[in-house]
Amino acid sequence: MAHGRSEFRLRAFGAACHICVEDVEGQGEVTLSLAKSELSRLESKYSAFYSKSIVAKMNKAAGDSQFIELDKEARSLFEFATALWHQSNHQFDPSSTILQSCYSAKGPVQGAKALLEQRLPQVDWSRIEVADNGARILDSGMLINLDSCVRPYAVDSIRRIFTSAGVQSALISLDEDIATIGKQPDGANWLVGVKHPKNNGVAIARLKLNNCGYSIRGDFEKCLNMHNERFGRALSPIDGHPIPGLLCIGVMANTALEACGAANVAQVKTEQQALNWLNKLDLRWFAIDRNLNCHGLLTSNP
């Protein structure tokens, strides 16, 4: 039986997507078409930039009495986001994305203080009501974005589809979220390199991602620089200020959704709180702090 590999690259949820599968007897393209269909389905259903998506409809109807219907899948994603909101002591908040435009790489943009004062009252996940007949945003002007939860869900969903189709080798990568099946078609490991923050061209580790999920949140190369200090891009939903937390967190788990949950919560904690929390998890992880020091078991991998 002839084995090779088929792959494609595209953009989904505003991010780069790369999917690679084994090609058994020329069926690779057929398998990839399943992934494309699933990406299209999930993007049109949940992306805030698709006018008929659940999120777009909720944003448009914010402040109205109208409930947007949720099926079982959508309800589970809202429950997942709410669970992260609780786990993070309300610091992980999918309604806080409207604060991001108040900052550039150099810090606050012109008029940021006024913008924050205007937008902070519109940030509060507790104002999202999920009931038997659907979900709604209680306050006018609020906006939500679930991409950080939907992307890893999409990765896992494609992995399940591939597994059901009998695929034994695949890589599904969507922005910061990855899931794999088996090893590469030629038997090599699926690998991802983690760049060292202090040594150009050197990796903290080359991670073996066989049969697992992986998520990374934050980027030490794209941090905020304020008052001669480095901050991650995570903003507090309480005051809108950058959280003095870890610049980058990577987590390996059984699924991308599990990995992303841990990374999302760690990203919105202060440095020591995040490290203490990660150390209590039964997961493998790495982190880069604001002084560009490396932490976690994954940093010592060969």
Q: Specify whether 132 is located in the same domain as 206.
A: no
Domain membership flag for residue 31: no
Q: Domain containing 124 — which CATH number? A: 1.10.3980.10
Q: Specify whether 132 is located in the same domain as 205.
A: no
Domain membership flag for residue 297: yes
Mean pLDDT of 58-71: 96
**The predicted structure's pLDDT at residue 222:** 82
Q: Which of 145, 174, 208 corresponds to the end of one domain? A: 145
**The predicted structure's pLDDT at residue 198:** 64
For the beta carbon of residue 246, count every other beta carbon within 10 angstroms.
30
Select from 100, 147, 146 the least CA-distant residue to 119. 100
Per-residue pLDDT of 237-284, as tens digits, reads 999 999 999 999 999 999 999 999 999 999 999 999 999 999 999 999
Q: Specify whether 274 is located in the same domain as 197.
A: yes
**The predicted structure's pLDDT at residue 149:** 96
Per-residue pLDDT of 14-52, as tens digits, reads 999 999 999 877 778 889 999 999 999 999 999 999 999
Domain membership flag for residue 3: no
- Provide the domain limits for residue 60: 49-145
Per-residue pLDDT of 95-111, as tens digits, reads 999 999 999 877 899 89
Mean pLDDT of 151-165: 97
Domain membership flag for residue 292: yes
> Using CA atoms, how far apart are residues 15 and 295, in angstroms rounded to an integer?
27
Q: What does each C-alpha distance from 187 to 30, 201, 250, 273, 302 come to in angstroms?
A: 22, 26, 25, 40, 19
Q: Specify whether 99 is located in the same domain as 195.
A: no
Task: Determine the residue type at 221.
Answer: E
Q: Specify whether 207 is located in the same domain as 301.
A: yes
Domain membership flag for residue 249: yes
Which residues, 6 or more positions from 100, have their beta carbon under 8 angstroms from its beta carbon?
233, 235
For the beta carbon of residue 106, count every other beta carbon within 10 angstroms.
9
**The predicted structure's pLDDT at residue 125:** 98
Q: Which of 88, 122, 145 corresponds to the end of one domain? A: 145
The whole-chain average pLDDT of the chain stands at 92
Tokens of 113: 């203080």
Phi, psi of 215 (to 5 degrees): -140, 145
Say whether pLDDT at 134 is over 60: yes
Q: Specify whether 121 is located in the same domain as 228.
A: no
Q: Specify whether 204 is located in the same domain as 108.
A: no
Domain membership flag for residue 35: no
**The predicted structure's pLDDT at residue 227:** 82
For the chain, the domain total comes to: 2
**The predicted structure's pLDDT at residue 28:** 82
Q: Specify whether 138 is located in the same domain as 216.
A: no
Select from 280, 245, 238, 244 the least CA-distant residue to 262. 280
Q: Specify whether 203 is located in the same domain as 301.
A: yes
Mean pLDDT of 207-228: 89
Select from 110, 82, 220, 93 the least CA-distant residue to 144. 93
Q: Specify whether 299 is located in the same domain as 236.
A: yes
Domain membership flag for residue 90: yes
Q: Which of 110, 145, 180 corresponds to the end of one domain? A: 145
Domain membership flag for residue 226: yes
SS3 letters across the chain: CCEEEEEEEEEECCEEEEEEEEEECCCHHHHHHHHHHHHHHHHHHHCCCCCCCHHHHHHHCCCCCCCECCCHHHHHHHHHHHHHHHHCCCCCCCCHHHHHHHEECCEECCCHHHHHHHHHHHCCHHHEEEECCEEEECCCCCCCCCHHHHHHHHHHHHHHHHHHCCCCCEEEEECCEEEEECCCCCCCCCEEEEECCCCCCCEEEEEECCCCEEEEECCHHHCEEECCEEECCCECCCCCCECCCCCEEEEEECCHHHHHHHHHHHHCCCHHHHHHHHHCCCCEEEEECCCCCEECHHHHCC
Q: Specify whether 219 is located in the same domain as 127.
A: no
> Using CA atoms, how far apart are residues 244 and 233, in angstroms rounded to an integer?
10
Percent of the chain predicted with pLDDT > 70: 95
**The predicted structure's pLDDT at residue 200:** 65
For the beta carbon of residue 66, count every other beta carbon within 10 angstroms.
13
Q: Specify whether 266 is located in the same domain as 205.
A: yes
